[in-house]
Chain A
């Protein structure tokens, strides 16, 4: 029986830039930062109140998994905002929206009442988009 999710993967175009975005702008905590071969490291972060679910910031760079052509395809798809990997929640979406905006996070959608709660959409530095949600 599966009991928990421990790791989720977000593909990013540049790990240093992703570190800055997820840690300094979103306020996530670094859980693991370990070397992983040339040009890459095993970098995981988590929202401050959920350290047990590690978000792996996985670099799209040439490797046994990503041949050159795959890197190009993945990069194009990420840049144009194809992937929306996750939904985050918060205690107060209006305050969180204002704070993240002040920190330089780009929003595609301001907090909006929907039938499932209040939702905003923001982009990371690579082009991945996320839902920020607060249930009413």
Chain B
């Protein structure tokens, strides 16, 4: 769903809807967005792969649950930006999280789940490490301007458009000890990719985080921000992915990607209702 109007409406709602009406508003608009055909079909096709043998009717209701969670997630994110309201946080894999904080530079690899932005803001506020978020830019100029205008303070965001320059910038940033946060579950735009397998089906993932980790010799920490209730999130940090250098670079990448896909698959299987992928993820799911 693109366009600045939706963002303006969401911001208006955050600043005007009483919390004791909010669940009704969320339920209504989640149902309204079921009319968004491409998004609904995309989610339902992905669900068919995640839950083999599932029926279309069951996936339709599951799709509603995905929309419901997405609505709360983006609302919580805007609420944080506008009102500095933070949700309850609980941590799983805290040892890994602390290892990431203590490392001299790391890649935080995450997925389109829960609130990526809210998680990054939490890091920026609680961590002594500098965090740099890398993301796909908004295509619409107005939307991009709106996001820049209403962005949270204290967080550097880089857009993955200027590939070579950005790669060098990020390499310097990681070497300086910062944490670079990247979404590594799907390929957006024309970026270099690596082959992968998710739920037994071939796919591709962005090559950037793996190449960066190898070049900077830093670990990759899979981190997932999972919404577990109203204003309540869980931060799951998995064991780090170390990219060892050998004579065969492709094998090195393949091992790292396989570990990443294992973590991602486990989380998506358990929290399918929070994997915000509104386009068919697998090529055959699009057919």
Binding between chains A and B? no
